[in-house]
Amino acid sequence: MNEIYDVLIIGSGPAGLTSAIYAARANLKPLVIAGMEPGGQLMTTTIVENFPGFPDGVNGPDLMQNMIKQAERFGARFVYDVVSNVDFSKNNSNKTLKVVAGNKEYFAKSVIIATGSSPRKLGISSEQQFWGRGLSTCATCDGAFYKDKTVAVVGGGDSAAEESTFLTRFAKKVYLVHRRDSLRASQIMQDRFFGNEKIEVLWNKEVKDIVGTSTVTKIVLFDNKSNKQSDLPVDGIFLAIGHIPNTSFLYDALEKDEAGFVKVKNGTHTQTNIDGVYVAGDVHDSYYQQAITASGMGCMAAMDVEKYLASIT
């Protein structure tokens, strides 16, 4: 007979692991389906300087491994597999939520979706080489590393304008590389952006290559009007072209917004449109996209699950 879990957590980034810690401390014996490479995006981050409690910063993988150990200490169990499908109809004999990972079916009274999102990438071969070595998707996380240096931001929306403006606090020069001849950013963001003398916009340009040795030294730009290429010396490059929520396994099981992020039910903080199914972190939050906010939402989801389980007992 299949075991029925009180709570099953899908994802093992800051949101999923914080959910696991809180759920385990509440004696809910959570099962975490962690994926093949647990830890989320922070596993590819060298130094995290904005997570509270680490005045000298903390290595991203070390932070995530400590969260896993903390969850295990309180009784959370981990399965290192990838979820391929879910069935939240509760049409099975146990009236439970079903999650399929690998070749196995798991059944639970409640589920927390904490699969995060993935930064949209340029799709060029040199990206992987410089990821975390001059190539970033988070100015808030990494901007301070570029004090008095030159950086480029790629994008044309609100996030690109906001990241560029933020980076002027540290960098001596910020280039915004945009493939069109006008920004999509809101007017208030553009007013702020164009009033900053440290920022220069490179219109109708696309990044074709990232060049360097141990870190980035320049980017190769293609002008889609003149069809000419040029080199731009920079110390770092920030991508601000959006995030893709990791929700392919959900298909149409939950309500999502236009961009594919899982929605929460009106009047709630973490509950989805399905009773017993909750969401935490960047798979819902398309705005903040920070480890600390994901952790906070993971805490909220676990507490909401605890109340839900008490209500159906």
What residue ranges do the domains of the chain occupy? 4-118+243-312, 121-239
Q: Of 81, 138, 158, 223, which one is the catalytic site residue?
A: 138
Does residue 142 carry a catalytic annotation?
yes
Q: Which amino acid is at 73?
A: R
- Whether residue 57 contacts residue 50, with contact meaning beta carbons closer than 8 Å, is answered with no
Residue 46: per-residue pLDDT: 67
- What CATH number belongs to 4-118+243-312? 3.50.50.60
Mention every residue, 6+ apart, whose C-beta is less than 8 A from residue 272.
113, 254, 255, 262, 263, 264, 265, 278, 279
- This prediction's pTM: 0.81
| Distance in angstroms (rounded) separating the CA atoms of residues 35 and 118 | 14
Least Cα distance to 14 among 81, 95, 71, 54 occurs for: 71
CA angle 26, 301, 250 (to 5 degrees): 125
**What residue type is assigned to position 193 of the chain?**
F
User: In the chain, how long is the greatest CA-to-CA distance?
Assistant: 68
pLDDT for position 1: 65
- Confirm or reject CATH 3.30.565.10 for domain 121-239, answering yes or no: no
Q: Which residues contact 82 (CB under 8 A, 6 or more apart)?
A: 33, 35, 36, 101, 102, 249
- Quote the CA–CA distance of 244 and 102 in Å, as a whole number: 23
87 is catalytic: no
CA distance to 19, 83, 101, 185, per residue, from 10 (Å): 10, 8, 10, 34
Write phi, then psi, for 292 (nearest 5 degrees): -70, -35
User: Do the domains 121-239 and 4-118+243-312 match in fold?
Assistant: yes
* 69/42 Cα distance (integer angstroms): 16
- Is 257 an active-site residue? no
Q: How does DSSP assign 22-77, residue by residue?
A: HHHHTT---EEE--SSTTGGGGG-SEE-SSTT-TT-EEHHHHHHHHHHHHHHTT-E
pLDDT digits (tens), the chain, 313 positions: 689 999 999 999 999 999 999 999 999 999 999 998 888 888 867 678 889 999 999 988 999 999 999 999 999 999 999 999 999 999 888 899 999 999 999 999 999 999 999 889 999 999 999 998 999 998 988 999 999 999 999 999 888 998 999 999 999 999 999 999 999 888 888 888 898 999 999 999 999 999 999 999 999 999 999 999 999 999 999 999 988 999 999 999 999 999 999 999 999 999 999 999 999 999 999 888 889 999 999 999 999 999 999 999 8
The catalytic position among 56, 87, 141, 252 is 141
| Residue whose token pair is 């999923």 | 16
Spot the catalytic one: 6, 142, 231, 299: 142
